[in-house]
Amino acid sequence: MFNIWSSWIPSYLRDFKLSIFSKFLHLEANFLDFIVPFENVMEKHRHNQCLLDHQSLTTNPIYRTFLPIERFAAGVYTHSNFFIVQKEIFNSIWSCFHLAVIMENEVEVYLIKDKKKSSWKDIKHKRVGGGENYYSDYLESLSDLSPSNYFKVMFNQKEDFITCSCMLYIQQGFICRHIFYVFNIKEIDIIPSNYILRRWRHI
């Protein structure tokens, strides 16, 4: 592998074009050309990180909702991560509503419409009559919906388990707006500790 370095090094270095090292990392650079700027960049990075940590610990962000869970999130997340969570909390109020709640054993299943994810016209309801069978008829009318038209949140409060079909938590480690919508319905004012990744916290 080392003998053919001239073939793979250029390809490897192309990945650094957008990195913080791209200004001084080039094919002709020797070790000294690299190490001095590298130490300066890392020192600047550590300094900026300390400033951000201090800001997160000593200042409060501007709140966008009346929900206590937003205040709770501000107290546990760093500022940069809180703003990601805050956006989901905000959109849980203004973008989401549920089409139905279904019980499956001890699990509550919420079918949630997200106005920012798909258009309401994508959902075509059948006409349902009134009377004792209204709700069952309504659930049957939802059976024709494509999963792309709604998100499914499964919540088991007894087991402290909740998940959403949008997979935001699995992909990025943040609770989605659909789950926050369910938390609001259930009057849950704190984020369960097992859903707050350690790397997103203040400490």
Number of domains in the chain: 2
Q: How far is CA 197 from CA 83, 104, 153, 169, in A?
A: 15, 29, 20, 10
* 163/176 Cα distance (integer angstroms): 9
- pLDDT value for 49: 63
* 102/171 Cα distance (integer angstroms): 26
Share of the chain above pLDDT 90, in %: 42
What letter would DSSP give residue 1?
A: -
**pLDDT for 140-160, tens place per residue?**
555 555 566 789 999 998 899
CA-closest candidate to residue 180, choices 198, 202, 155 = 155
**pLDDT for 84-121, tens place per residue?**
999 999 999 999 999 889 998 889 999 999 987 654 44
> What per-residue string of b and e applies to 153-187 under the rule 16 or more CB within 10 Å gives b?
bbbeeeeeebbbebebbeeeebbbbbbbbbbbeee
- 53 and 75 within one domain: no
CA-closest candidate to residue 173, choices 191, 192, 150, 200 = 200
Predicted confidence (pLDDT) at residue 123 exceeds the cutoff of 90:
no
- 177 and 149 within one domain: yes
- pLDDT value for 116: 74
* 175/126 Cα distance (integer angstroms): 33
Q: Which residue has the higher pLDDT, 197 or 105?
A: 197
> In this structure, which long-range contacts are made by residues 170-173, counting pairs with CB atoms below 8 Å and at least 24 apart in sequence?
173/197, 173/199, 173/200
Number of H helices, E strands in the chain: 7, 4
Q: Residue 95: inside a domain, yes or no?
A: yes
Q: Residue 49: inside a domain, yes or no?
A: yes
- 92 and 41 within one domain: no
- 39 and 8 within one domain: yes
- 141 and 193 within one domain: yes
- 114 and 85 within one domain: yes
* 144/125 Cα distance (integer angstroms): 9
pTM across the whole model: 0.66
| Confidence bin at 169 (pLDDT 50/70/90) | very high
Q: Residue 76: inside a domain, yes or no?
A: yes
Strands (E), the chain: 96-104, 107-114, 151-156, 161-164
Domain hosting residue 158, numbered range: 68-200
- The pair phi, psi for residue 125, each rounded to 5°, is -80, 145
- 37 and 128 within one domain: no
- Amino acid found at 170: I
* 114/95 Cα distance (integer angstroms): 5
